[in-house]
């Protein structure tokens, strides 16, 4: 009897385990969508008969902090449509634990807010699409998905459009209904299956769940871990869609650093337009664009030899920009949109260069082919030594296999009216180049720069394996020597182990003037090897989700085989169940300088000279506190050697959340640099308080102050935004720069900008 009971128990366990595994929603799971027979009302009730008969995406699984359990609080998703709208509804079962809603601002921070949403791939290529997300407070976020949504960089919120929603909170759940106009996004109506994926982030419980069971090391709501939306009824044919977005702006400014004070007032008008050339191909136009409402850059203290890459914030350049942005690799990007319409002034701050017009054609030609073409014309700006310039960027991508593609891209920068005698008028370093001819140096005009690139990306179906390779060649009118750059890179990831490694090279005369190559002025050509290894444990302790060691290395060589840079880093990291994290690391750095430079004031201190060798060690710690608390923070600190001296760094950000109306934050960066006396002993610090208020879901005020003692400047930027209609805004922006010693106002500007979104 005992043996019989044991066998029966064993069979029962195996039967349960088999059915448990079989019941999981797996990649490729189908969800059918039918046309609504009646009207859908956005009221947070889903009591219409079409909702009751719709297919239900249920039985969700946790992805984080564990990936082996059904979601304790389940979610149900349903979809339907009519001739005008694509409808989605979510029933998010819950208890009365207060929701965390960090802000009422549209396009909110995903990680800082409870939310639910879905990604839609209307091209059925498992690579490209759109996402729509909503919080329990009804705040919307939408954007584009690229590379299948396999990592955080695959999601961009800089695609805006009109859609409608309603959220209602109940004691045991909250229900969200969405109505997305078919004319708001691009699709092909002859494709009867679309990619679809869904996830829910419960910050208040530090838990992520998804419709498709997704291993913890992979991204939820990505298309590789998504399903198929099967259309039982014909999809409404895509219609002509034209959006016209005019703007007017008025500004006044005063420059008090000149005598007499230079005061200016200006009024401008322009417009953007979005035209659906085909159901999946869009033409964006801009005439006399103005970006005065864009937030200022976060200043930094840069103690490296390399240029820092500030992020692009201008929406026209960000929409549908993935084909351009992902070309190359971080050390050699053929195209970087901040090269257009922005240039540094004599104080090192970026100033706008007026743009006459711009056009971009982007989208899908078919299920396998994508295209993006951009053309921008800037105006002559002699105050900073720039002629009128034209930028043309084109990319053509061919998708193949499950999540793989090859992309051909071309970048052209053309300067107009540059003559050899214009060195005093056009003195920018990119307009004239010093060329060594025999034993003499010539200054030659640089009228054009072109870069041709090929990128190949391949990924296994389960995304565990990823391989990437790239090669670029530059062309210009003053140099025909070695001008290639390239990369071979691979990664492998499992639940416990991940690794990546690569080899890259940049020839000495590779020249991507409309791109970003931070080492171009540091090395006379280079090739490098880099690698990263990490291992993760999942301890039984409830307080720790996962932990484990990491190891990084990089070697850089210059032509001839000289090893100029070596860096090693060994770390250990923890992720805690309360959503905080901690990391320790030990770093070793060796440098043989290939150029002379000075960390501090070259008129006061000795610099580091080409050919000198330095090596040092340091230790660091990083801690991110529990973001579910009203007050949370991140702190980073490092201490140890730095070239021929020492440096102590303390940086981070303190944030207080007044839910849901906004945040008060204080960003800081402090360096106590102790070098030998003739090299300098300085305390460098940057402090930046920021107040971000969201009075309603339509009225916002952001005030940002930055003091940087390296630049000897205090910057104030205040931006008021009123979204008086969907996608239509009034901006009032005030900017002022002060001398820190006596708060003398160096310059100030006040801008009014009004935009209106009109669908034709």
Contact between 176 and 198 under an 8 Å Cβ cutoff? The reply is no
Neighbouring C-beta atoms of residue 648, cutoff 10 Å: 16
Examine residue 215 and state whether it is found in any structural domain, yes or no: yes
In a domain, 207, yes or no: yes
From CA 113, how far away is CA 100, in angstroms rounded? Answer: 6
User: Which tens digit of pLDDT belongs to each residue from 220-278?
Assistant: 989 999 999 999 999 998 777 888 999 999 999 998 888 888 899 999 999 999 898 88
User: SS3 for 566-609, per residue?
Assistant: EEEEEEEEEEECCCCEEEEEEEEEEEECCCCECCCCCCCCCCEC
Q: Are residues 333 and 206 in the same domain?
A: no
Give the CA distances from residue 756 to residues 130, 685, 724, in Å, rounded to whole numbers and listed in that order: 23, 41, 9
Would you call 218 helix, strand, or coil by DSSP? coil
Residue 295 inside a domain? The answer is: no
How many whole angstroms separate alpha carbon 32 and alpha carbon 79? Answer: 8
Asked whether residue 278 is domain-assigned, the answer is no
Do 210 and 324 lie in one domain? The reply is: no
pLDDT of 241 reads 81
For residue 14, the surrounding DSSP H or E stretch is helix 2-22
pLDDT digits (tens, 9 = 90+) for 137-154: 999 999 999 888 887 778
* pLDDT number for residue 4: 46
Tokens 């079989």 -> residue: 22
133 Cβ contact partners less than 8 Å away, ≥ 6 residues apart: 110, 115, 116, 117, 140, 141, 142
Give the per-residue pLDDT at 422: 73
Assess whether 202 and 76 both reside in one domain: yes
Q: What is the mean pLDDT of residues 32-57?
A: 96
- What pLDDT band is residue 334 in, cutting at 50, 70 and 90? very high
Answer whether residue 469 shows pLDDT above 70.
yes
214 and 315 co-located in one domain = no
Who contacts 365 (Cβ-Cβ below 8 Å, separation ≥6)?
280, 281, 371
Preceding peptide of 660 cis, ω within 30°: yes
> In which band, very low, low, confident or very high, does the pLDDT at 468 lie, cut at 50, 70 and 90?
very high
Residues 197 and 328 in one domain: no
CATH number at residue 117: 2.60.40.1190
Residues 349 and 455 in one domain: yes
Between CA 726 and CA 162 the distance in angstroms is 6
Alpha-carbon distance 671 to 685, whole Å? 6
Is 686 a domain residue?
no
Give the DSSP H/E element, type plus range, for residue 318.
Answer: helix 315-318
Tell me: do 205 and 342 sit in the same domain: no
- The answer to whether the peptide bond before residue 165 is cis (omega within 30 degrees of 0) is no
Answer whether residue 625 is part of any domain.
Answer: no
Residue 21 has a pLDDT of 43
Poorest-pLDDT segment among 261-265, 310-314, 668-672: 310-314
pLDDT band at 687 (very low <50, low <70, confident <90, very high): very high
Cα–Cα distance for residue pair 604/350, rounded to 1 Å: 26
Judgement on whether residues 313 and 459 belong to the same structural domain of the protein: yes
Model confidence at 129: pLDDT above 70: yes
Confirm whether 575 is domain-assigned: no
Residues 454, 323 share a domain: yes
Residues contacting 573, CB < 8 A, separation 6+: 547, 548, 550, 581, 582, 583, 584
- Shared domain for 219 and 338, answered yes or no, is no
Q: How many domains does the chain have?
A: 2
Spatial distance between the Cα atoms of 202 and 136, rounded to a whole number of angstroms? 10
Over residues 691-741, the pLDDT tens digits come to 999 999 999 999 999 999 988 899 999 999 999 998 899 999 999 999 888
Task: Please tell me whether residues 346 and 201 are part of one structural domain.
Answer: no
Q: Which of 487, 510, 533 is the last residue of a domain?
A: 510
Spatial distance between the Cα atoms of 371 and 363, rounded to a whole number of angstroms:
6
Q: Is the pLDDT of residue 489 over 80?
A: yes
Q: Of 231, 252, 284, at which residue does a domain stop?
A: 231
**Structural domain of 166:** 23-231
pLDDT in tens, 69-98: 999 999 999 999 999 999 999 999 999 999
Tokens standing for residue 297: 């850059």
How many percent of the chain have pLDDT more than 70?
95
Residue with tokens 């820190």: 740
Quote the pLDDT of residue 346.
55
Residue 1 placed within a domain: no
**Residues 524, 561: Cα–Cα separation, whole Å:** 12
Least confident interval from 20-24, 607-611, 699-703, 749-753: 20-24
Q: Give every CB contact of residue 119 below 8 A, 6+ residues apart in sequence.
A: 129, 130, 131, 145, 149, 195, 196, 197, 198, 221, 222, 223, 226
Cβ 413 vs Cβ 391: under 8 Å = yes
Look at residues 172, 199, 231 and tell me which one is the last residue of a structural domain. Answer: 231
Banded pLDDT at 348 (limits 50, 70, 90): low
Percentage of the chain modeled with pLDDT above 90? 64
What DSSP element (H or E) covers 738?
strand 728-738
Question: What is the structure's pLDDT at 516?
Answer: 92
Contacts for 731-737 with beta carbons within 8 Å, 24 or more apart?
731/292, 731/293, 731/755, 733/292, 733/293, 735/296, 737/713
The region of weakest confidence among 334-348, 364-378, 465-479, 529-543 is 334-348
pLDDT bin (cut points 50, 70, 90) of residue 327 is confident
| Residues 469-479, mean pLDDT to the nearest whole number | 90
CA-based nearest residue to 707, from 722, 693, 689, 686: 686
CA distance linking residue 595 with residue 607, whole number of Å: 11
> Looking at the structure, do residues 316 and 432 belong to the same domain, yes or no?
yes
Does position 3 have pLDDT exceeding 60, yes or no?
no
Give 409-464 pLDDT, tens digit per residue.
999 999 988 877 777 777 776 777 777 777 777 777 788 999 999 999 998 888 89
* Number of Cα atoms under 13 Å in the Cβ half of residue 636: 10
- Average pLDDT in the 474-487 region? 86
């Amino acid at each position: 009897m005992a043996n019989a009971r044991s066998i029966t128990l064993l069979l029962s366990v195996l039967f349960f385990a088999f059915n448990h595994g079989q019941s999981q929603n797996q990649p490729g799971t189908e969800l059918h969508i039918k046309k609504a027979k009646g009207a859908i009302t956005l009221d947070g009730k889903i009591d219409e008969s079409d909702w009751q008969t719709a297919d239900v995406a249920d039985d969700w699984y946790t992805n984080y902090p564990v990936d082996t359990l059904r979601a304790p609080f389940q979610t149900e998703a349903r979809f339907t449509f009519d001739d005008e709208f694509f409808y989605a509804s979510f029933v998010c079962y819950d208890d009365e634990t207060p929701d965390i809603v960090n802000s009422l601002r549209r396009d909110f921070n995903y990680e800082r807010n409870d939310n639910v949403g879905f990604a839609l791939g209307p091209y059925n290529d498992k690579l490209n699409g759109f996402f729509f997300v909503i919080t329990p407070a009804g705040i919307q976020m939408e954007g584009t998905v690229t590379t299948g949504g396999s990592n955080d960089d695959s999601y961009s919120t800089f695609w805006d459009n009109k859609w409608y929603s309603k959220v209602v909170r109940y004691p045991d759940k909250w229900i969200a209904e969405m109505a997305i106009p078919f004319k708001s996004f691009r699709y092909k109506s002859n494709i009867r299956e679309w990619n679809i994926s869904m996830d829910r982030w419960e910050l208040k419980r530090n838990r992520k769940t998804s419709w498709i069971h997704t291993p913890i090391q992979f991204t939820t709501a990505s298309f590789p871990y998504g399903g198929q939306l099967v259309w039982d009824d014909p999809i409404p044919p895509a219609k002509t869609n034209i959006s016209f977005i005019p703007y007017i702006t008025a500004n006044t400014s005063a420059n008090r650093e000149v005598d007499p004070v230079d005061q200016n007032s200006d009024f401008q008008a322009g417009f953007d337009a979005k035209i659906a050339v085909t159901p999946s191909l869009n033409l964006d136009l801009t005439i006399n664009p103005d970006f005065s409402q864009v937030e200022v850059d976060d200043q930094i203290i840069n103690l490296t030899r390399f240029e820092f890459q500030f992020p692009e914030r201008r929406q026209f350049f960000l929409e549908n920009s993935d084909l351009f942005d992902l070309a190359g690799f971080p050390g050699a990007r053929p195209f970087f949109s901040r090269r257009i319409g922005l240039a540094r002034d004599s104080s090192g701050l970026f100033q706008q260069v007026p743009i006459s017009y711009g056009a971009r054609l982007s989208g899908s030609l078919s299920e396998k082919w994508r295209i993006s073409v951009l053309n921008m014309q800037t105006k002559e700006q002699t105050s900073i030594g720039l002629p009128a310039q034209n930028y043309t960027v084109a990319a053509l991508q061919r998708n193949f296999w499950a999540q793989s593609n090859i992309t051909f891209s071309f970048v052209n920068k053309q300067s107009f009216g540059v003559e050899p005698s214009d060195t005093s008028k056009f003195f920018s370093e990119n307009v004239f180049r010093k060329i060594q001819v025999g034993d003499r140096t010539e200054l030659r005009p640089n009228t054009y720069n072109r870069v041709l690139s090929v990128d190949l990306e391949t990924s296994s179906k389960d995304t565990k394996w990823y391989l990437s390779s790239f090669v670029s060649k530059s062309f210009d009118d003053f140099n025909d020597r070695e001008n290639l750059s390239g990369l071979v890179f691979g990664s492998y990831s499992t639940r416990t182990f991940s690794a990546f490694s690569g080899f890259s090279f940049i020839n000495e005369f590779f020249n991507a003037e409309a791109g970003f190559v931070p080492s171009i002025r540091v090395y006379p050509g280079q090739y490098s090897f880099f690698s990263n290894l990490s291992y993760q444990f999942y301890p039984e302790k409830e307080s720790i989700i996962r932990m484990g060691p990491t190891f990084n290395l990089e070697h850089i060589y210059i032509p001839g085989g000289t090893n100029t840079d070596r860096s090693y880093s060994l770390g250990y990291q923890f992720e805690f169940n309360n959503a905080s994290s901690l990391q320790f690391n030990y770093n070793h750095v060796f440098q043989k300088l290939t150029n002379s430079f000075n960390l501090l004031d070259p008129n006061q201190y000795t610099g580091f000279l080409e050919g000198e060798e330095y090596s040092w060690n340091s230790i660091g710690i990083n801690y991110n506190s529990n973001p579910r608390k009203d007050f949370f923070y991140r702190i980073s600190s490092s201490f140890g050697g730095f070239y021929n001296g020492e440096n102590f760094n303390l940086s981070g950000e303190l944030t207080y959340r007044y839910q849901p109306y906004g945040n008060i934050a204080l960003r800081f960066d402090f360096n106590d640099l102790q070098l030998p006396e003739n090299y300098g002993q300085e305390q460098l610090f940057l402090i930046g308080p920021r107040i971000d208020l969201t009075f309603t879901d339509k009225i916002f005020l952001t005030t940002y102050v930055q003091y940087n003692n390296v630049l000897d400047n205090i910057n104030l930027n205040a931006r008021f935004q009123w979204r008086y209609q969907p996608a239509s805004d009034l901006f009032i922006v005030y900017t002022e720069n002060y001398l820190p010693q006596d708060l003398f106002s160096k310059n100030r500007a006040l801008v009014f900008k009004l935009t209106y979104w009109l669908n034709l």
